[in-house]
Amino acid sequence: MKKTIALLPGDGIGKEVVDVTVEVLKAVAEHFQHQFNFNYGLIGGDAIDQKGNPLPEETLEICRNSDAIILGAVGGPKWDNNPVELRPERGLLALRKALDLFANLRPIKTFDSLLDSSPLKKEYVNGVDFIIVRELTGGLYFGKPSERIVHEGQEAVVDTLLYKRSEIERILVSAFEMAQNRRKHVTSVDKANVLESSRVWREVAEEVSKRYPDVELEHMLVDNAAMQLIRSPKQFDVIVTENMFGDILSDEASMITGSLGMLSSASLSSDGLHLYEPVHGSAPDIAGKNIANPIATVLSAAMMLRQSFGLEEEAKAIEKAVDNVLNSGLRTADLTEAGKAVSTKRIGEEIISALADDREIIKIMNTYS
Ligand SMILES: NC(=O)c1ccc[n+]([C@@H]2O[C@H](COP(=O)([O-])OP(=O)(O)OC[C@H]3O[C@@H](n4cnc5c(N)ncnc54)[C@H](O)[C@@H]3O)[C@@H](O)[C@H]2O)c1
Ligand SMILES: CC(C)[C@H](C(=O)O)[C@@H](O)C(=O)O
Ligand SMILES: [Mg+2]
């Protein structure tokens, strides 16, 4: 299979984790006889420095001319005091909007070998397998006005939480569709005791649920959901929620798996051009040290192979290679005690060698079958 992949490494550890992921994808291409072409684009702080724009038009073109997009992360202290239009994060938000990447899927699944890495009790995290479906192109992130104003004669500020009913409906449909192929349970998270937007969200959730009689719908207030994620994470199958709540709950949920460095994601659009990125950011505190965990991005690439290219066997091969590496006891610093950790690059090399081992076994088995 021949595919073109846009690579937007971005800033900080974004570059390090994308570098590893590209090597893994090259190994997959070699073992499974595919041709992956990689087109690099600038986004975030780097793009501001080189092009004066966090999302240059060339980058959008590269994305539009590709079959899928892999992004690292954007942001860093260097640009923190920039005016809002020159913030790296604006580049990511503009990209999500421009490509209509409205459905952000963030799977939370524990690895058996990492049960001890979670701060939660082993018996609570063992077997956790749920997905957060986060609305990604609406809500507080995009509502206008969003500005400093004078209100009642005083300095004030306003951000707007705006959703079209159709935007709420399409994300809920995505969640119910997903639940139908899983354990048939949707938890719709909102703040309907306070926010009008959440009251409408609940109404739409009820309407959509009528089309999926085999799926159970539960409403949960976001503050309770934050607590339930820690108290009993196994109760969840599909969590669907608006943009900001989803952002916060997914970082929280990452600790069930042991680290934010484990959490992959897919941002899906209606026209089939999807973006894959780790849930974490550019981690300025560890950037440039070759110690970041690349697994979130590598697993995002597996999501890409499955979702965008239909390459199920290849996606599974990556997931199995990651599992094998973790089973062998190798861990980056976020998952183990100081002194025992291995580097970003080493984890990448081990994943590639686990992939190769697995292919050899399959080949040997095929010759005997
Ligand atoms: N998708 C994105 O591009 C994205 C996501 C989140 C934050 N950001 C940006 O990143 C910058 C830093 O934000 P932050 O520090 O709040 O969040 P962060 O996710 O970058 O880091 C939070 C903490 O987790 C650790 N961490 C994150 N990823 C890791 C990995 N792969 N391996 C090991 N440790 C990891 C970091 O070292 C840090 O201690 C900000 O500019 C923010 O806007 C970007
Ligand atoms: C960098 C930031 C804009 C982004 C978000 O809030 O969506 C990040 O935190 C994420 O989770 O992808
Ligand atoms: Mg976030």
Q: Tell me, what's the ipTM?
A: 0.99
Are 88 and 45 a contacting pair, CB within 8 Å? yes
**Distance in angstroms (rounded) separating the CA atoms of residues 337 and 357:** 28
Nearest CA to ligand 2 atom 2: 89
Q: Say what the pLDDT of residue 5 is.
A: 98
User: Which residue in the list 46, 67, 190, 247 is annotated as catalytic?
Assistant: 247
8 A C-beta contact, residue 136 and residue 241: no
Nearest CA, atom 6, ligand 2 = 247
Query: Binding site annotation covers 298?
Result: no
What's the 327 CA to ligand 1 centre distance in angstroms? 25
CB 314 within 8 A of CB 308: no
Ligand nearest to the CA of 137: 2
**Beta-strand pair 266-268/275-276:** antiparallel
Q: What is the pLDDT tens value at each position of the chain, 369 positions in all?
A: 999 999 999 999 999 999 999 999 999 999 999 999 999 999 999 999 999 999 999 999 999 999 999 999 999 999 999 999 999 999 999 999 999 999 999 999 999 999 999 999 999 999 999 999 999 999 999 999 999 999 999 999 999 999 999 999 999 999 999 999 999 999 999 999 999 999 999 999 999 999 999 999 999 999 999 999 999 999 999 999 999 999 999 999 999 999 999 999 999 999 999 999 999 999 999 999 999 999 999 999 999 999 999 999 999 999 999 999 999 999 999 999 889 999 999 999 999 999 998 777 777 777 776
DSSP symbols for 72-118: EE---GGGTTS-GGG-HHHHHHHHHHHTT--EEEEEEE--GGGGGGS
Ligand 2 atom with least separation from CA of 136:
7
Q: What is the DSSP letter of 292?
A: S
What is the structure's pLDDT at 348?
98
CA 256 to CA 248: how far, in whole Å? 14
Which pLDDT score, from 0 to 100, does residue 184 have?
98
Identify the pLDDT of residue 269: 98
**Counting runs of H as helices and runs of E as strands, what totals does the chain give?**
12, 12
From the list 51, 97, 184, 191, the catalytic residue is 191
Check if 92 has its Cβ closer than 6 Å to any atom of ligand 2. Answer: yes
User: Cβ < 6 Å from ligand 1: which residues?
Assistant: 13, 73-76, 89, 92, 260-261, 277, 280-286, 292-293, 296, 334
Q: What is the pLDDT of residue 369?
A: 61
| pTM exceeds 0.95 | yes
357 is catalytic: no
Complete domains list, the chain, with CATH: 1-111+258-369 (3.40.718.10), 119-257 (3.40.718.10)
162 membership: H or E segment, kind and range:
strand 154-162
